[in-house]
Amino acid sequence: MTKDKICKIFDCFQKNNPYPKCELIYTNEYTFLIAIILSAQSTDKGVNKATRELFAQISTPQDMLDLGIDDLKTYIKTIGLFNNKAKSIINMSQDLVNKFNGQVPKERNDLETLAGVGRKTANVFLNSIYGKPYIAVDTHVGRVSKRLKLTKEDKPLLIEKDLEQNIPNQYKKYAGHWLVLHGRYTCKAKKPDCENCIIQKYCPSFGKIS
């Protein structure tokens, strides 16, 4: 994939959706971090439905600790892997209280010291909240990136490194959002909607995916 074609692809994304946003609903930085953790292997729609009542009750790590793991589970029981996620959220909240005075840190290295927070979660948080040019690699980003020949890798960290190298700086702030949304609604794993794809004339996989 040439730099010229890459620019044309992201120009199309930019023209179609200049300021894309994460589709998770939250009330502050802390609840956003919770929503991201809950979204692993779950849909944003499902997470938003489950957290509507939860976020009306809690807004700080101490609120969550006061709520307790058993009551937390009653709010998120419709989300996949809710038992493990509840444990991670309680432990993460305790880490925030113990290490950061209840405040969500602003640096990736600090975020990754929190229970349940890996590189992808940290990247989503810092990109969405602070506009840092980090690209979080989920299944959508990985799939679309490979179909666009932006990477040949399978491991998220290696895909991220390829995207950092191949995507021009002017697109990086929103690149992850564009790739996620394109994978979620158009370039799906099964039966991608190639006929209605806004980047079809630049896609090296057009007409080759069933």
CA–CA distance from 73 to each of 100, 118, 137 (Å)?
25, 22, 27
Question: Could you give the residue range(s) of every CATH 1.10.1670.10 domain in the chain?
Answer: 3-20+134-202
Percent of the chain with pLDDT over 90: 97
Q: What is d(CA 203, CA 194) in angstroms, rounded to the nearest whole number?
A: 10
User: What per-residue confidence (pLDDT) applies to 208?
Assistant: 82
pLDDT at 185 over 90: yes
Q: What is the mean pLDDT of residues 48-75?
A: 97
Q: What is d(CA 65, CA 59) in angstroms, rounded to the nearest whole number?
A: 11
Which residues are tagged catalytic?
Answer: 120, 138
pTM for the full predicted model? 0.93
Helix (H) or strand (E) holding 15: helix 3-16
What are the tens digits of pLDDT across the range 20-38?
999 999 999 999 999 999 9
Q: The domain at 3-20+134-202 falls in which architecture?
A: Orthogonal Bundle (1.10)
Look up tokens 């702030």; give the residue.
173
Angle between helices 119-130 and 156-166 (to 10 degrees): 40
Q: What is d(CA 153, CA 158) in angstroms, rounded to the nearest whole number?
A: 6
What are the tens digits of pLDDT across the range 128-181?
999 999 999 999 999 999 999 999 999 999 999 999 999 999 999 999 999 999
User: What per-residue confidence (pLDDT) applies to 209?
Assistant: 79
Q: The domain at 29-130 falls in which architecture?
A: Orthogonal Bundle (1.10)
Question: Could you give the residue range(s) of every CATH 1.10.340.30 domain in the chain?
Answer: 29-130
User: What per-residue confidence (pLDDT) applies to 210?
Assistant: 64
Percent of the chain with pLDDT over 70: 100
Q: What is the mean pLDDT of residues 44-69?
A: 97
User: Which three-class secondary structure state does DSSP give residue 25?
Assistant: coil
Look up tokens 């700080």; give the residue.
60
Radius of gyration of the chain (CA): 18
